[in-house]
């Protein structure tokens, strides 16, 4: 990806808090800080990987960008338009350019509709063509994602997980969007099927110039498909840089721990592990200072009180590398 590519999406200091109601009077007793100040940008035709453990807010962020939620604070700018507070009717024309693929291909397809109807629906809603041209278009889409034309009249339950995910992809690309948010699109699939779907996604990206936000917890998968990667922890981005740098020179101890925890498919390699103790703290009352300090092996007193900011570091030939750790780059000794 060249730096000259236009910015497609910009997220500025986005916050998404969910209220918790309790007590007899059902008053608000607290809030879940699901996304707590995230800034990101996606360029045209690039893939931005979003990784982190469950509960880190990566899916919420994806859904907030799609405006399936009303963000608490911050800004979402898509193609120069501020969509943060747009009404559903104002959003509708933009939805053409902003699509989504979900994790579970079993849940996200209406089991009472034929595959043809499912893929046609976005075209129908946006009033594309007439019945005949739409059917032709759907046939072409099915072929594009590697399904047979006979799939048109069949129902989702007749397909395997990988094929259903292809249907989901066909639906997402039907309107020729510019950005697709992929929420764990291959996590539920077997390795052999996973690689088929990833190849398809990479091919479509090249062909149609799509940009992806690729949300996943499998770091090897994310590295393979992404241009840049953002690592999230408890609703914040802790490290953000290009896909090679994040694996070669991780700066944040959380990223280091995540990478070291990936089991390597080679029994001769004995990796040195950074073992993280315990679980991710609750996002209702996130820890003070650096939110990672409760599990960080390098914790100092400073970490417990001062919140580290996302700062730019120069690691290798002028590439942008952001990390939020007081001791980023000093931990290798």
Partner 1 sequence: MAYLEVKNLSTGFQTESGLVTAIDGVTFNVEKGRTVGLVGESGSGKSVTSASLMRLLPQPAGKILSGEVVIDGIDITKMPAKDMLKIRGRKIAMIFQEPMTALNPVHSIGKQLMETYLVHYPQMKKKEAFEKSLEMLTKVGIPAPEKRIHEYPHQLSGGMRQRVVIAIALSCEPDVLIADEPTTALDVTIQAQILELMKELQEKNGMSIIFITHDLGVVAEMCDDVVVMYAGRVVERATCTALFAKPRHPYTYALLDSIPRLDNKRKSKLHTIEGMVPSLAEMPNGCRFGPRSTFEHKEEAYKTRPHLKEIADGHFVEWCECCQKGLKAKLEAQGETYEVTV
Chain centre distance of CA 330 = 29
Tell me the three-class secondary structure of 85-120, residue by residue.
Answer: CCCHHHHHHHHCCEEEECCCCCCCCCCCCCHHHHHH
Q: Is 266 in the site for partner 1 (CB under 8 A)?
A: yes
The answer to whether residue 276 forms part of the interface with partner 1 (CB under 8 A) is yes
| Candidate list 90, 107, 264, 314; residue touching partner 1; CB under 8 A | 264
223 binds partner 1 (CB under 8 A): yes
Nearer to partner 1, 84 or 194 (CB): 194
Residue 257 interacts with partner 1 (CB under 8 A): yes or no: yes
Binders of partner 1 among 162-201, rule CB under 8 A?
162, 190-196, 198-199
Distance (Å, whole) CA 7 – CA 306: 32
Chosen residue from 268, 272, 317, 333 binding partner 1 by CB under 8 A? 268
Tell me how far apart the 2 most distant CA atoms of the chain are, in Å. Answer: 68
* Cross-strand pairs, 237: 232
DSSP reduced 3-state for 152: helix
Pick the closest to residue 197 from 324, 205, 153, 63 (CA basis).
Answer: 205
Please identify, among the stretches 6-14, 22-30, 135-143, 278-286, the one whose residues bind partner 1 according to the rule CB under 8 A: 278-286
Under the binding rule (CB under 8 A), the answer on residue 306 touching partner 1 is no
Binding mask 72-91 for partner 1 (x = CB under 8 A): --------------------
161-173 and 191-208 are packed helices; what angle lies between their axes, rounded to 10 degrees?
Answer: 10
Q: Which phi and psi (to 5°) does residue 26 adopt?
A: 55, 45
- The verdict on 278 binding partner 1 (CB under 8 A) reads yes
Tokens encoding 181: 């948010």
CB of 38 to partner 1, least distance (A): 20
Q: Are strands 236-242 and 311-314 parallel, antiparallel or unpaired?
A: unpaired
How many chain residues touch partner 1 (CB under 8 A)?
A: 45
Q: How far is the CB of 162 from partner 1 (least distance, A)?
A: 7
Nearer to partner 1, 5 or 202 (CB): 202
Residue in 111, 262, 105 with CA at minimum distance from that of residue 186: 105
Beta strands in the chain (DSSP E): 7-22, 27-43, 47-51, 73-78, 81-82, 98-101, 179-183, 211-215, 228-233, 236-242, 311-314, 320-323
Closest approach of partner 1 to the CB of residue 329, in Å? 21
Question: Interface with partner 1 includes 224 (CB under 8 A)?
Answer: yes
Please identify, among the stretches 5-13, 61-69, 80-88, 243-251, the one whose residues bind partner 1 according to the rule CB under 8 A: 243-251
Q: Give the range of 59-67, 72-80, 214-222, 309-317 binding partner 1 by CB under 8 A.
A: 214-222
H or E element that contains 178: none
Q: Are 281 and 287 in contact (CB under 8 A)?
A: yes
Q: How far is the CB of 257 from partner 1 (least distance, A)?
A: 6
- Considering beta carbons, is residue 38 or 216 the nearer one to partner 1? 216
> Whole-number minimum distance, CB 20 to partner 1, in Å?
16
- Report d(CA 79, CA 208) in Å as an integer: 17
In the complex, least distance from residue 155 CB atom to partner 1, rounded to whole angstroms: 17
Binding site for partner 1 (CB under 8 A): 53-54, 160-162, 190-196, 198-199, 202, 217, 219-221, 223-226, 243-244, 247, 257-259, 261-269, 273, 275-280
């Amino acid at each position: 990806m060249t730096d000259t590519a236009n910015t497609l999406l910009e997220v500025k200091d986005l916050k998404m808090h969910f209220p918790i109601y309790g007590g007899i009077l059902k008053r608000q007793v607290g809030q879940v800080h699901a996304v707590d100040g995230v800034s990101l940008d996606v360029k045209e035709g690039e893939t931005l990987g979003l990784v982190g453990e469950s509960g880190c807010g990566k899916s919420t962020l994806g859904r907030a960008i799609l405006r399936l939620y009303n963000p608490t604070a911050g800004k979402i700018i898509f193609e120069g338009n501020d969509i943060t507070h747009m009404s559903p009717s104002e959003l509708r024309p933009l939805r053409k350019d902003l699509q989504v693929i979900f994790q579970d291909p079993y849940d996200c397809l209406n089991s009472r509709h034929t595959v043809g109807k499912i893929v046609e629906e976005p075209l129908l809603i946006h009033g594309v063509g007439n019945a005949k041209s739409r059917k032709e278009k759907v046939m072409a889409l099915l072929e594009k994602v590697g399904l047979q034309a006979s799939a048109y009249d069949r129902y989702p339950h007749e397909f395997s997980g990988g094929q259903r995910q292809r249907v989901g992809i066909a639906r997402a690309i039907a309107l020729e969007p510019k950005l697709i948010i992929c929420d764990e699109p291959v996590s539920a699939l077997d390795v052999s099927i996973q690689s088929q779907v990833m190849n398809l996604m990479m091919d479509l990206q090249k062909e149609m110039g799509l940009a992806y936000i690729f949300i996943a917890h499998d770091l090897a998968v994310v590295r393979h498909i992404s241009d840049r990667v953002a690592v999230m922890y408890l609703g914040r981005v802790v490290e953000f840089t290009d896909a090679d740098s994040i694996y070669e020179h991780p700066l944040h101890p959380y990223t280091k721990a995540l990478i070291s925890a990936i089991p390597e498919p080679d029994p001769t390699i004995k990796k040195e592990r950074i073992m993280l103790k315990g679980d991710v703290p609750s996002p209702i009352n996130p820890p003070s200072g650096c939110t990672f300090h409760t599990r960080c092996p390098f914790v100092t007193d400073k970490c417990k009180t001062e919140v580290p900011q996302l700062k730019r570091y120069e690691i290798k030939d002028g590439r942008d590398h952001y990390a939020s750790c007081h001791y980023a780059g000093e931990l290798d000794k």
